[in-house]
Structure 1
Amino acid sequence: MTEAERLRIDKWLWHARFCKTRGLAVDLVQGGKLRVNGQKVLKPGRAVGPGDVLTLAFGGQVRVLRVLACGTRRGPAVEAALLYHLLEETGVRATGAAAEQP
């Protein structure tokens, strides 16, 4: 895999719309909330590419996904969804009727 097929993890998280800004993506990575292929990543400059498996822990959820592409820009959500495949999602979401119960 060439370097052109890889992208900084903070930029990839931003392109894939997991974070609203690259600054928030940096905070996520430096906060220890991310693993790449099972190894904790603390540096936002870590390169990822197609085939890498990411484990993200934020917002009360843990998401495991496979990187399918790097992307060239932060496009619409439909385009961002093509950058990854969700393998697993766990956690509690406060939505609907469950959020209204005491």
Structure 2
Amino acid sequence: MASPGAAGSIRLDKLLWFLRFARSRSLAQAIIAAGHIRLDGRRVTRSSCAVHAGATLVLPVGERIEVIRLLTLPVRRGPAPEAQACYVRLEAANTPAS
């Protein structure tokens, strides 16, 4: 089986789990099914939606909304620094000014 990066895309639920935005794939699927995720500006409700490097995601993280751009696709659920190297935060919404 080819790695996700070699295929050029990855399932959205698996991506959220690999990037540590969800504690399990089933929780990621529930978040997606509830319509809380936007992929490149459109609402996504299917966990099997393919995500490519360069995509923009808007997703809830706790009490705030994160906007991220994927730099590269993760190949595994590794440690947090490895996951954070795969994306860049575009804006931090609902955070107090420092």
* TM-score with structure 1 setting the length: 0.83
1:89 shift after superposition: 1.7
Matches within 5 A, 1:1-102: 4-91=7-94
Aligned-residue RMSD, C-alpha: 1.8
Q: Percent identity?
A: 37
Report how many aligned residue pairs link the two structures: 92
Q: Could you tell me which residue of structure 2 aligns to residue 98 of structure 1?
A: none
Identify if the C-alpha distance between structure 1 residues 72 and 64 changes in structure 2 by more than 3 Å, giving closer, same or farther. Answer: same
Q: Is the 8 A contact 2:65 2:93 kept in 1?
A: yes
* Secondary structure class of the residue paired with 1:26: helix
Which 5+ residue runs of structure 2 have no aligned equivalent? none
**CA distance in structure 2 between the aligned counterparts of 1:25 and 1:34, rounded to whole angstroms:** 10
Q: Report runs of 4+ in structure 1 exceeding 6 Å deviation.
A: none
5+ residue gaps, structure 1, are 94-102
Work out whether residues 21 and 61 of structure 2, in 8 Å CA contact, stay in contact via their aligned partners in 1: no
CA pair 27-4 structure 1, distance change in 2 beyond 3 A: same
